[in-house]
Structure formats: C-alpha cells, structure tokens
Chains A and B, each alone.
Chain A
C-alpha cells in the first residue's frame, strides 16, 4: 500500500506553499476583488515561470511531462491561497481539452503557449440558467464559423482562445471548437459574479472563425471526460480552500473572548470546527482516490471524480459558511476575509456542474460499473 504523495511531491508542496505565502496573501485576493484588474497578471507570470502551467503537458509540446499527482499538489495549494488567476480555466479545462481531442497540428499550435502561460485558454459550455445538455445547446457551427452566446465563461474576458461546446446534428449531439477570441466575430463583456476575485465573461460569437476540436458529434463524450478530469483538480482546489476556512475559524475562535473566555472553549464552536475537519478529511481522502484515478487513467475515473467532487463541494460550502458564522458579525463585514472562501466555495461548486448534477453522475457511474 502506497497511498501518499512521494517525497518529491511533498517538496513541491512546500515550495508552492512558500511561494504563495509571499506572493498570494489574502490582501492580493482582496485587491483583485475590489479593483479593476481581472486577475493578478504578475502572479500569473510567476506561476507560469515556475512551470506550473506546463505540469502535465508532454515535453514534446514544451511542457514538463509530470504527472497529475504533481498537478494535484499545485491545485490544492492554489485553492488554499484562493489564487486570483485563470489557472483552472487554462490548465484543468482548455489544456485538458486539447490534450484529449486535439489533432497533432492543434497540439503543436496551442500547447506550447499554454505551457508557457503566454496563452490563456477558457472553456465555454453554459448558455443559460440550468443544466446544459446537447439538447439545450443553441451555439452552432456552420462550416468553420460559429454563432451563439456563452454565459458565464470563467476567464472569458482575459483568455486568448476558448474551447466552445456547440450543437451538432451528428453523434452525441455536440462538438468542440477552438475559437480564438481576438477576432471580429467575437465580442466579450465582463460580468459580475458572486466571486469577483475570479473574472467571468459573456461571449457573443457572431459567425466567428472556429476550428473543430476532435470529431464532429463526439463533443459531448469529450465534455464528460474533460469534466471528470477537471472535477478531480477542482476538488483539490476546494479542499485547499476548506483548510483555509477552517484555519480562519480556528484562529478567530481562539482569540475571541465571550463571557470571560475564548469562544473556542464552547462545545457549540468546538463541534462546529470538528465537523468542518471531518468533512474536509473525508473530501481530502476522496481527492487522493481521484488523484490516483486520473494519474493512472483508471476505469473508475468517473466514480472517483464524482466522489471527490461531491464531497469537496459539500465540505467547502460547510467550512466557508460556518467560518462566517464562527466570526459572528465581524464575519459579515467587507473588512474581514471570511467572504473570500464563502464566495469561492460557491463559485467552484457551480463552475463545472453543481452538487446535484455530480451526485446524479456518481450514481449513474456506479450503475454502469455494476451493469458491466
């Protein structure tokens, strides 16, 4: 049994923690949230220079060719720091889409830029409120041009290109397209979300130039496998954030006195924090499972991904809301940092499909496994 990260991976974690402690404090998150900059460009540049954006990209495309275990470590640390950069869009989604479905030419064209962080990708799936399915898609390509509206698109305002999911008359009813966002047929507007420390946009595609990614009519199946892999990495970000919320709550409870003693001595607070710890721990152990499944390309990936995703969504929501509660009125003020994990937990929970959606996926995956 070896169900732990290796010594090298733990060293990477230490390095990442040290780097983020000095380059991505809560003050940085606050600056992006409060200000006009869509993301911390300086942090992004440094992250890219350290090769984090290149982690799993093969060396032949100028990546580092490391495993998903290394990327898991980085994801957890970025989640812990609530880093205000387009990492998840570019690395967990756009890079994965091109690795999974890209032709040799497309890989050559896009992966080196993604690896270097000079190019930012995003993933454009949703079009309106509610679940997206091939039947609900209205975005559609006509030859090499595509038309439709995508909202919300995480990092759509800062990305260089988007992986756009469009409707198809063939196969599974959907196809993927690469759409360069700096062109006449594309207009994009920034939109306000519950977490302004991560920018989002509305993309309007009006006969925009698009190239098919993968085969026409195989898009939905690609979307599923891309989301499964992204779910594991999102879950690592989420458990990192869970720890941050727990630590905030703990620090405050130890220092805040009421009725002549620290509120951390009251069982009402202790049990709350113990419950946060329990949920975080279950979610983290499920993330280990997810990391194992993604790094070995295991058949169980759909189950492992949904398991990690469901428990990470639940844990982060619980940790972030009870962190606000532990702080009392101060937790509700703009001045305190409790708002950041509370915002981020819901953003990450909705970004690639909700708790209910993934609960259903989990049972479906289990049904499939049993039928096999």
Chain B
C-alpha cells in the first residue's frame, strides 16, 4: 500500500499542475463578469488548450483521458481558486446521455459547444408529483405531425434560468403502466411556451426553478431512444449523476469546527478541552477520514483499470447529514452568538449559519437520504424491492391522492 502516483500518473499530474498554474484566471481576467461569465471564460480557456471534459473522445472536444486522469485533474483543479462551474449537469449527466443515445450528427452539433462552455444544459426531470418517485411524472407530450406538443410543469431544475438546452422525460402514453409510457427528449430552452420561475430557498439563494410548459413544440428528431423507452434513457442520465469522485468539498468540516472549538469557551476554558466536544469531533473526524480513504480505494480501482466498488456510493448519505449536524453543533458552540448571521458580525463570516441553512437541501438533492439508503440496500446488499402497488397498472388509473 502506498499513496503515491504511478510514474505515468505522476507525469500527468505534473503536466496538469503546470498548465493550471500558468492559466488560472487572474482577477483582471474576471473583472466585470458575473458568475456565468466567469464560469464560461474558465471553461473556454480549458477547452482551447484541450483540458475540458478530458475523458470525452477527442472528436467531442475531450482528450480521451482515463478515469484516473480525471480524478487527478479534479484534485489538482480543486487546489486552485477557480470560478464556480455551471456545467456540472451538462457535462456530467446530459452529455453522457447524448453520447449514448443521440445521432452522430447531433453529437457533432451539440457536444463540442457543451465542452467549450458556449452552451449550458440543464436536466428537467423532477415534477411536483414525481420526485423520489420520478417515473410518476405527468408532464405530457402529444404527437402532432413531426412535432410533439408539451404541456405541464417541471420543478427543482438547477440552472434552468441560464441554460441553453435541457434534457427531459415526458409522458407520451398515460394509458401504459408508469415506466412504460415515458419518452426522452432534448429541447432548446428558448422555445416558445417555456416559462422559468426561480424558487427561493430557505437558505436565501435561488439556484433552481420551476419550469412551465404551455403548448411547447419539440421536433421528433430531438427524441432520444424510442417512444416509450424514456425510462431506460433516463437511467443513463441518473447513473452518471453520482459517478464522480475526487476533488474537494466546501462548507463546514472537521477543521472548521475544530478551529472554532479553540476560539470559544465552555466553563471559562477553550471548548476543545470539553470531553463532549472532543468525543463529538472525534466521531466526525473518523467519518471524514473514512470517506477520504474510501476515495483512495476507489482511486486504486480506477488506477488499475477496474470499476470502483460500492463503497463509493455512501459519500452523499454520510456527508450531507454530517454537514448539517456539524453546522448545528457549531452554532451551539457559539451559544447566543450562533444566531447571528451577518457576515460582518458572525464567526467565520457566517459560514456556519450558511451551511446550517443550506444543508437540508444537500440531504434531498440528487436522491434523498432515504432513497440513497434504499439504493444501498437494494443494489449493494441485494435486498428485494418494496412492493409497488402501482406496478402494471395503467398510469392514469394509479391513485394520486386520498380523494
């Protein structure tokens, strides 16, 4: 066992580092740009030098790099202060789906612009009646000549307000059982009849949206997969959702709470001397350490050209509640001062308060804690699925409320 790169990996890491150090955007480069402009500038710079979406084939704007190269790239890039990305969904979920299901012609038209950051893509899956039970979505598409006409509503769509294109799953046959009446499309977000309304979150931010469709036309040529095959295509997208490893995480972590515990007092002594504080911190340290070394085990698998084991599936389920509990604990350590959320007046410029308010979302987005636990139970441990009362029933006969 050792933590070192192989010779080939070390050479690649050095090459990445060298390029990053020479090309990270300067404050001057970014002056006057909003977060979208900054993200696009950085993406374009990477693309022009051949460092965008490095795992993608060259003809799609990538560099045919391996999975371990991607991890190395992520690790090195995360060490620099780079503009926040707005391309995660487009690059991580939409593009792999397009590459698997779209025509060569379509991929040639759309994928390089995704790689260069010229186009931003979003994913229109969740609906008011289809969240954890995604296949219960109701937004409909009806065939009209060579087009389909879309009516309904999507929700929780991250980045819809600045996206150029989106992928979406629609109900094309309400008389078929739930999973069988769905069809998958990609769509121009500027199409007539699409209305995007930001949702204000409890954290104060507004990162995602409601998206309303009123008689929106989409060409049948933008269908991915066969009519009725939408669920299968959607699985391609979802499988890519949590496939990334490496890189760093922001927000509250062991270091920030440990440091806080050295600055505030309990019984006139630094809180870090309190046995309860030490016990709690030790448990979180062990969790963080476990996640880190899970990552190393996954990297080892990638480095050997193998697929990482299921240990990689637990990150979100452990990490999200941990962030919430640690932020809550930090506010308690601050006693009455914990309530202050004014960047000028609060400890760590309000970071603990911000995490406290943002962390409920982490436990829901991309699969709730409960769904993640189901996934581990069913796919990792091989436990049987729960009984589904809507199985095999035409979708339009499935009960949707008590009335």
Is B380 on the interface with A (CB-CB < 8 A)?
yes
Once A270-B374, A282-B286, A363-B272 are accepted as A-B contacts, the answer to whether A1 and B299 lie under 8 Å apart by CB is yes
Q: Is the CB of A264 within 8 A of B384?
A: yes
B50 CB to closest chain A CB (Å) equals 24
Interface residues of B in 284-338 (CB under 8 A from A): 285-287, 289-294, 296-297, 299-301, 303-304, 311, 314, 317-318
The stretch that binds A, out of B1-9, B81-89, B141-149, B177-185, is B1-9
Pair B5/A283 contact, Cβ less than 8 Å: no
- A289 close to B (CB within 8 Å): yes
CB atoms of A264 and B383 under 8 A apart: yes
What's the minimum C-beta distance from B260 to chain A, rounded to whole angstroms?
14
Check: B31 CB closer than 8 A to any chain A CB. Answer: no
The reply to whether A288 and B293 form a contact with Cβ atoms under 8 Å apart is yes
Residues from chain B with a CB closer than 8 A to the CB of A3 are 1-3, 293, 296-297, 299-300
What 1/0 flags go to B1-36 for Cβ under 8 Å of A? 111111001000000000000000000000000000
Q: Do B283 and A359 touch across chains, with their CB atoms under 8 A apart? A: yes
> Which residues of A52-104 have CB atoms within 8 Å of chain B's CB atoms?
69
**Closest partner residue, chain A, to B277 (CB atom):** A363
For B287, what are the chain A residues with a Cβ–Cβ distance below 8 Å?
282, 311
Q: Is the CB of B285 within 8 A of A274?
A: no
B39 at the interface (CB under 8 A from A): no
Task: Let me know if A362 and B282 touch, CB within 8 A.
Answer: yes
Do A310 and B286 touch across chains, with their CB atoms under 8 A apart? yes
The 10 closest A-B pairs by CB, nearest first: A282-B290, A359-B282, A270-B377, A285-B293, A274-B373, A274-B376, A3-B296, A311-B286, A363-B278, A362-B282
Would you give 10 A-B contacts (Cβ < 8 Å), ordered by A? A3-B297, A265-B386, A266-B386, A267-B373, A271-B374, A278-B314, A282-B294, A284-B311, A286-B290, A363-B272
Q: Give the distance in Å from the alpha carbon of A359 to the alpha carbon of B283 in the complex.
A: 7
Contact of B282 among A283, A284, A310 (CB under 8 A): A310
Contact between A1 and B374, CB atoms less than 8 A apart? no
Q: Does A366 contact B (CB under 8 A)?
A: yes
Please, what's the 1-or-0 string for B239-282, where 1 marks a CB less than 8 Å from any CB in chain A?
A: 00000000000000000001000000000000010010011011
Whether the pair A356, B1 counts as a contact (CB closer than 8 A) is: no
B289 touches A1 (CB 8 A): no
B202 within 8 A of A: no
Task: Check: B390 CB closer than 8 A to any chain A CB.
Answer: no
The contact of A356 among B279, B317, B372, by CB within 8 Å, is B279
What distance in Å separates the Cβ of B221 from its nearest Cβ neighbour in chain A?
A: 42
Q: Is B387 interfacial (CB 8 A cutoff)?
A: yes
B342 within 8 A of A: no
Q: State whether the Cβ of B400 lies closer than 8 Å to any Cβ in chain A.
A: no
B residues less than 8 Å from A1 (CB atoms): 3-6, 9, 68, 296, 299-300, 303
Q: Mark B360-394, 1 if CB is under 8 A from A, else 0.
A: 00000000001011101110110111110000000
Q: Which residues of B contact A5 (CB under 8 A)?
A: 1
Q: Are A282 and B383 neighbours in the complex by a CB distance under 8 Å?
A: no
Complexed CA–CA distance, A360 and B381 (Å): 34
Q: Which residue of B lies closest to A361 (CB)?
A: B282
Cα distance, A228 to B44, chains bound together (Å): 51
Closest to B318 in A: A278
* Contact A265 B282, beta carbon cutoff 8 Å: no
Bound CA–CA A104/B370 (angstroms): 58
Give, as a whole number of angstroms, the nearest-CB distance from A300 to chain B.
Answer: 11
Interface centre among B9, B290, B299, B304 (most CB of A within 10 A): B290
CA distance A283 to B5 in the complex (A): 24
B1–A314 contact, CB under 8 A?
no
- Measured between beta carbons, the chain B residues less than 8 angstroms from A278 are 314, 317-318, 376
A289 and B376: CB pair below 8 A? no
Q: Is the CB of A277 within 8 A of B275?
A: no
Q: Are B381 and A273 in contact (CB-based, < 8 A)?
A: yes
Say whether A187 faces chain B, with CB atoms less than 8 Å apart. no
A359 surroundings in chain B (CB, below 8 A):
278-279, 282-283
B: interface residue count bin: 35 or more
CB pair B296–A288 under 8 Å, yes or no, is yes
Are the C-beta atoms of B283 and A310 separated by less than 8 Å? yes
Q: With the chains together, A2 CA to B68 CA distance in Å?
A: 12
Are B303 and A2 closer than 8 Å at their CB atoms? yes
- B281 contacts A282, C-beta separation under 8 Å: no
Query: Inside 8 A of B3's CB, which chain A residues have their CB?
Result: 1, 3, 292
Q: A270, B383: Cβ atoms under 8 Å?
A: yes
Contact A362 B297 (CB under 8 A): no
- Please report the C-alpha to C-alpha distance between residue A264 and residue B384 in the assembled complex, in whole angstroms: 7
Q: A265-B385, A273-B381, A274-B381 are in contact. Are A362 and B318 (CB under 8 A)?
A: no
- Nearest CB of chain B from residue A212's CB, rounded to whole Å: 34
**CB contact between B1 and one of A4, A246, A271 (< 8 Å): that residue:** A4
Question: Of B272, B279, B300, B373, which is within 8 A of A275 by CB?
Answer: B373
Minimum CB–CB distance from B183 to chain A (whole Å) comes to 30
CB of A174, distance to nearest CB on chain B (Å)? 23
Q: Which residues of chain A are within 8 angstroms of B314 by Cβ–Cβ distance?
A: 277-278, 281-282
B279 touches A250 (CB 8 A): no
Closest Cβ neighbor of A355 among chain B residues: B279
Could you mark each residue 286-322 of chain A with 1 if its beta carbon is under 8 Å from any beta carbon of chain B, else 0?
1011011001100000000011001100100000000
- Judge whether B300 and A254 touch: CB under 8 Å: no
Any chain B CB within 8 A of the CB of A253? yes
Whether A281 pairs with B311 at a CB distance below 8 angstroms is yes
Q: Is the CB of B1 within 8 A of A307?
A: no
- A307 cross-chain contacts in B, Cβ below 8 A: 285-286, 289
Q: In the complex the two chains form, is B300's CB within 8 Å of A362's CB? A: no
The answer to whether B290 touches A285 (Cβ under 8 A) is yes
* Shortest beta-carbon distance from A372 to chain B in Å: 16
B residues less than 8 Å from A295 (CB atoms) = 1
A35 within 8 A of B: no
Contact of A262 with B by CB under 8 A: yes
CB–CB A360/B279 < 8 A? yes
Write out the residue numbers on chain B whose beta carbons fall within 8 Å of the beta carbon of A31: none
Which chain B positions have C-beta within 8 A of A69?
1
Interface string of B202-237 (1 = CB under 8 A from A): 000000000000000000000000000000000000
A287 to B283, CA, bound (A): 15
Note all chain A residues with C-beta closer than 8 A to B372. Answer: 274
Q: Does B387 lie within 8 Å of A265, measured CB to CB?
A: yes
Interface string of B153-185 (1 = CB under 8 A from A): 000000000000000000000000000000000
Q: Any chain B CB within 8 A of the CB of A261?
A: yes
Give the residue name and chain of the B residue nearest to A259 (CB).
B387
With both beta carbons as reference points, the residue of chain B lying nearest to A264 in the complex is identified as B383
